[in-house]
Amino acid sequence: IEGGGNKSLTFENVPLNAIVVHKTDSVTGEALGGATSQLRYLGGASGTGGAVIGQKVTGSNGMAIWTGLKPGSYIVEEVDPADGYSIIQSSETVYLADNGEQSVITVRFENMPDGNLLIRKVCSANPSVTLPNAEFKITYADGSYVPDENGQLSSNGLYYTDREGKITISGVVGTVVVTETASIPGYTIDEATRTQTVVVHPNDTQTLYVYNEPETTLVLEKFIKGTDREPLAGVEFLVTDGAGTVIGPNNGVYT
């Protein structure tokens, strides 16, 4: 540098690469936050191995970003979809080139919305009458319990109809077994339909109707003949159905 002169020196650095994961709803295209992805480094153009770089969760914009990546092959794996969704494509392999320029690759994953199961409990004589507080055991075909609407697993798989006679379970996919375990006073369970199986697909709502027979009441009144309906106590009656089978306790004898 000559006296009184200036020199400008320029140093260039090549920025490291980045991989962006973009997660969306396969039906609406909306961004999905809360999905977990994992990045593994394979090395070289077609290397082997698979060292785990780490995991990231998509934000509200449906994106997760890894920066500072060296050139080579990577596998982006979907570890856990957003709540209420199922994985469609589990992984994708990408290659970050070593060409002296920054390489940013966006990997797009879609998740399929899970299905919903709606159980409606109604009176068989009048379906407009809904039956609250009926008890059901709901499991998958393998016997595992179906999580409740908060994603918590029930200790016994029991659900109860609400005041409108409904049970609604979101985020269900697969074969579900629904068993009515207890009816409500005044109604009896139909043994032929006590247990029902339904298949719920992704982005699907299945409605299952369960009917209960209202119990009937038989009143027998005994009067003294020739009186103004003066009651006569202590008389025994045997009550049977049309086939001769006794009905009720005490071998069908009522007094």
Statement: residue 162 has pLDDT above 80:
yes
Q: Which two tokens stand for residue 78?
A: 């979907």
In contact, 19 and 107? CB cutoff 8 Å: yes
Statement: residue 208 has pLDDT above 60:
yes
- CA–CA dist 107, 75 (Å, integer): 10
Statement: residue 151 has pLDDT above 70:
no
Instruction: Record the pTM.
Output: 0.56
* Share of residues in the chain with pLDDT > 70 (%): 93
Backbone angles phi, psi at 198, to 5 degrees: -140, 145
Q: Residue 146 has what pLDDT?
A: 81
Q: Quick: pLDDT tens for 62-81.
A: 999 999 898 888 999 999 88
